[in-house]
Chains A and B, each alone.
Chain A
């Protein structure tokens, strides 16, 4: 979680810089000049509106938490439902955000079945979000099967991290 927090802040900072069109300015800031001042200046020069900043924060929160599954299962756990309920609230509050749900599997299953299972996992999250009031047209699903593990050791601790849904919002 800590990793995602830091990653999120980094992404937000990058987003602020890119949106403000000041990436070159930052990189060309003379030694000793304040990077914070440059970034702040970009915002002050019309980079991000409050609504955009809110949206960026919502995107960060939506992407922050993954949900996890048992082996050969696409059933949502109680914890997953809570996480998805929070995401549904953020999506409803920010109707311009679109979401891609990625379904992933651990390495133990066979490739083709895992591709189908990954789809079912992504679809389970999508169905929950739609039932929670999010427009289905805003949500896409994609299965990566076992092709994109976050952990590559062959043990249950690692496998359990790979049986997951990830959320890409934009």
Chain B
């Protein structure tokens, strides 16, 4: 956000040739069948032929192109077209619609073409104009201009452009306007970190002498809550993003497990006060407000939909851990997971329709998705290792999770359709327990 004043963003008026509403390229990311869009990101060009691209310092044009490439690779509805597959060569010949021979790109089956035009400036790296065209009609999908002061702003420029492009095509661009909190191992300790959802700007939040666990963002993305364990026992911590203040509270009972924010901003947490963990809602001063779920069995891992009417959680009341959903208004309870004997760590989609959780199969955890309306459960992730700690993105399309499929635990992202998981780079060392929040 600090970059905002420096990042003079202006929408370009480029006389777009809007097609008929029915002709506009759109991608339904929520529907049963997901469209694939062939995307080609052209090499950057100088805005004026007389000023070479090399006049832009710090190799900024190529770096920005790489960021856009890598960010678009997170979107599974994009199929990246390599330059060698473009008939007549990869150069579009210009960055404006009237300069581009869209016929060559049609022949190359490109659906969306992205161009970049740079103009060096005396202060900062320069101005860049980014455009995305619908190749079939030649229509300008989006055009954006940015003044880039320094190299550190390049990923934010790429994220803003990708957010707008995704929004123009799908109606939602939240993926590029959200962040992840996660746990990283620090010797015997575990600390909370955060980054953008693309793994940019990784920063350490805590430096505590113990084990931080189960981070969870408030729905407005301003507060983070997590459980903490040290030599003295369990406690609950809340971190304020604006003030960066960390508050820590000891709770009644001996164990603090899986705190989570409710839709109205209160905190729910599993506490062991009567011989087995039950789920409580807390007051603002962290005193106990009310019981949300109580049973002689284990009740942990609450998670809430955006409307605040549904809570999913794990209970072993039937002998093994299974996922349940509770209607908080009526108090009615329904079992979500039926297959297998070990179903844990649920996350409910913001619209309250889908639940993703870890299902143990063949001794390993895989993500499963349950449709609450139909009751159908299906496997979402495959391959080696364990897939755990699923967390829905605020737009209800992406799912972040931790997995040791390639060795140590790292953060990956897939979608509600079970698209191929993509690694989110979070730096050296293992990473766990991603929690999605708004920027």
Chain A contacts to B: CB under 8 angstroms: 72, 108-113, 115-120, 122-123, 127, 140-144, 147
Contact B254 A120 (CB under 8 A): no
* Chain A residue at minimum C-beta to C-beta distance from B183: A111
Contact B272 A110 (CB under 8 A): no
Contact B321 A72 (CB under 8 A): yes
Interface residues of B in 218-274 (CB under 8 A from A): 227, 229, 233-234, 254-255, 257-258, 270, 272
Interface residues on B, range: 35 or more
* Chain B residue at minimum C-beta to C-beta distance from A122: B254
Mostly, the A contact residues are helix
Chain B contacts to A: CB under 8 angstroms: 190, 211, 213-214, 227, 229, 233-234, 254-255, 257-258, 270, 272, 275-277, 298, 300-301, 314, 316, 320-321, 341-342, 344-345, 358, 360, 363, 365, 388-389, 432-433
Contact B321 A119 (CB under 8 A): no
A110 to B432, alpha carbons, bound, how many Å? 11
Contact A116 B229 (CB under 8 A): no
Contact B321 A113 (CB under 8 A): yes
A54 to B234, alpha carbons, bound, how many Å? 33
A110 to B402, alpha carbons, bound, how many Å? 11
Interface centre among B257, B258, B358, B432 (most CB of A within 10 A): B257
A136 to B376, alpha carbons, bound, how many Å? 46
CB neighbours (8 Å) of B227 from chain A are 115
* Chain A residue at minimum C-beta to C-beta distance from B231: A142
Interchain nearest-CB distance for A91 vs B (Å): 19
A113 to B388, alpha carbons, bound, how many Å? 12
Interchain nearest-CB distance for A164 vs B (Å): 17
Contact B298 A117 (CB under 8 A): yes
CB neighbours (8 Å) of A111 from chain B are 213-214, 345, 388-389, 432-433
Contact A110 B389 (CB under 8 A): yes
Contact B254 A112 (CB under 8 A): no
A117 to B213, alpha carbons, bound, how many Å? 16
CB neighbours (8 Å) of B344 from chain A are 109-110, 112-113
* Chain A residue at minimum C-beta to C-beta distance from B270: A116
A127 to B276, alpha carbons, bound, how many Å? 12
Interchain nearest-CB distance for A132 vs B (Å): 17
Contact A112 B234 (CB under 8 A): no
Assuming A113-B314, A116-B270, is B298 touching A144 (CB within 8 A)? no
A69 to B175, alpha carbons, bound, how many Å? 43
Assuming A72-B320, A123-B276, is B214 touching A112 (CB within 8 A)? yes
